[in-house]
Amino acid sequence: MTLYIDKINNYIKCLDNETLNALQNISSTKQYKKGELLLRQDEVCTKSYLLQNGIARKYYLNGAKEITTELYFENDLAVSFDSYSLQQPSREFIEALTDVTVSITHYQAFQDAKAKYTKLLTLDLMFAEYYGIWVENRLFQFHTLTATERYLEILNKSPHIIQSIPLTIIASYLGISLETLSRIRAKI
Amino acid sequence: MTLYIDKINNYIKCLDNETLNALQNISSTKQYKKGELLLRQDEVCTKSYLLQNGIARKYYLNGAKEITTELYFENDLAVSFDSYSLQQPSREFIEALTDVTVSITHYQAFQDAKAKYTKLLTLDLMFAEYYGIWVENRLFQFHTLTATERYLEILNKSPHIIQSIPLTIIASYLGISLETLSRIRAKI
DNA sequence: AACGAAATTTGACTTAGGTCAAATAATGAG
DNA sequence: CTCATTATTTGACCTAAGTCAAATTTCGTT
């Protein structure tokens, strides 16, 4: 999967200046403080957020419980996928877990740019494919791995997550209770 | 979500003849008998299959157990998404559950056509977005609904599934054991 | 109509992980 | 450095769903 990210970044790197400028022209930088929300439930996700630094997450509420659906680090693109794609209200929040700097691009501006610069359309397709594969894989792991195995998977493949994020959020990302996560960690 | 399918079908309907012809020229019809595999595990998914009639499913093996990941009816597009997108070996099988007729388009031919006809690129993006949203929603349901609620969801929104598909497969699609499904049905 | 295979149901028991409550750490503001 | 708050751990108990095994029911084929 990281391969696909590399492929995307490589594609961006190789964009001609005209396309690159077009992209630049519709993007702007903004900062958020730790705890601030970049997107709220029920809002339409009209922007995409490219993390330049810091950590963020996407989550939704199941009753009173938060379920974290994605964690974002430097160079990750944060959007509520369905809300952004369909321009309909989001069930998810996007929250800064640390102070973050993001590059913001408006949905409509990007739509217009895609119509003019085919390479941006291709880029959008690459993002959509990447995300689809990523979610598919996440679902696959929920079906085939136990809680312990999922934790170990993160520990091995994404140790930065364990280091930088509170256990409550990691537990909600793994789809288990905080207590269960604590017990898993005690065993290992 | 059906809205998105409508949007896609509408987009196809409104394609100019040139684009439509290009698509036609790289597609061909084929029949499979009930039980035949359109795609096997470890094969690269080099074709997309548009169901013209019949029923099919996509599944993978978790040990000895089959887990059904998607059910296809008329007008659905069947591919192993990650295998197709990355042109890498598939972990999934695609199987005809009844005799089926499909319209087959080769990956490479479609790639070439997308380069020439931007509208096909847009169409591909629409499919990718649709699939991403669909999987995201499936994951959401696994996290927020009980087995019974998931069964009721299908019963309400996709009764044709319950009618036309053996319970073993429905259970594996719901991510529960056959016995549990049987007990859920007994209660209702 | 009658048999054998496959599909479905029922029963008894197990288990991964959840919940609730209480006890310890750990951390950050003054 | 200290207190208060927040994060994490531990304990006791519960529950949804799984597993294994044994009935039944259904259905395609003679």
Using CA atoms, how far apart are residues A67 and A92, in angstroms rounded to an integer? 9
Domains belonging to chain B, first-starting first, are 1-144 (2.60.120.10)
The beta-carbon neighbor of B175 closest among A118, A131, A143 is A143
The single-letter DSSP state of residue B76 is: P
Assess B162–A contact: CB distance below 8 Å, yes or no: no
Which residues does nucleic strand D approach, with CB less than 7 A? A 166-168, 178-179, 181-183, 185-186; B 146-148, 175-177, 179-180
Torsion sign, CA atoms A119, A125, A128, A131? negative
Tens of pLDDT, residues A36-76:
999 999 999 999 999 999 999 999 999 889 999 999 999 99
In the stretch 105-124 of chain B, residues with CB closer than 8 A to chain A read 118, 121-122, 124
Residue of chain A whose alpha carbon sits nearest to that of B116:
A118
- Residue B161's region, left for phi above 0, alpha for psi from -120 to 50, else beta, is alpha
Query: According to the model, what pLDDT value does residue A9 have?
Result: 86
Burial of B135 by CB count in 10 Å (0-12 exposed, 13-18 middle, 19+ buried)? buried
Tens of pLDDT, residues A111-170:
999 999 999 999 999 999 999 999 999 999 999 999 999 999 999 999 988 888 999 999
In the stretch 17-76 of chain A, residues with CB closer than 8 A to chain B read 60, 62, 67
| Interface-testing mutation among A121, A135, A145, A173, with chain B (most B C-beta atoms within 10 A) | A135
pTM above 0.85, yes or no: yes
Tens of pLDDT, residues B42-89:
999 999 999 999 999 999 999 889 999 999 999 999 999 999 999 999
In the predicted model, what is the mean pLDDT of chain B? Answer: 94
Residue of chain A whose alpha carbon sits nearest to that of B3:
A86
List the beta bridge partners of residue B61.
B66
Amino acid at B131: Y
Is-contact B175 B148, C-beta < 8 A? Answer: no
